[in-house]
Amino acid sequence: MKLMKCVLMLNAKTNFIWLVYALEKESKKVVSFNVGKRTNKTLSRVVDTLKLSNAKKIFTDGLKNYKYLIESNVHAVKRHATNHIERNNLTIRTHLKRSNRRTICFSRSYVMLDAILRIYFWA
């Protein structure tokens, strides 16, 4: 499983929203995601889902919060292991204009953003 974050903006330049999601390694499908403030609570909801699914290895970027939430024998930080999820971040920004602040479609509501992401990832 690959776990990554993607930063979105909501309401103003200073009010950032954190989109955290996990991809399954083989199929590249989103297994779990969460939208919220940049806290360990937002991150832990996705990490807990991965722990329940008994992921053998979780690849992440170098964010220091992961070492508090993921066991070291399961956690791996590799530069090239997150290429697919970084590409997916770009695809999300391109396809979903709700994440771009200076567009007509920009989403100011957590509920609407969460609903659109559910449709986008799992429909």
pLDDT reported for residue 56: 87
Q: pLDDT digit string (tens) for 91-121?
A: 888 888 766 666 666 667 778 888 888 998 8
Three-class SS of 15-57: CEEEEEEEECCCCCCEEEEEEECCCHHHHHHHHHHHHHCCCCC
23 φψ region: left (φ > 0), alpha (ψ -120 to 50), beta (else): beta
Tell me the pTM.
0.79
Is the confidence at residue 38, as pLDDT, over 60? yes
Mind listing the domains of the chain with CATH numbers?
A: 2-122 (3.30.420.10)
Percent of the chain's residues with pLDDT above 90 = 14
What integer pLDDT is reported at residue 60 of this predicted model? 87
Task: Between 113 and 3, name the one with better pLDDT.
Answer: 113
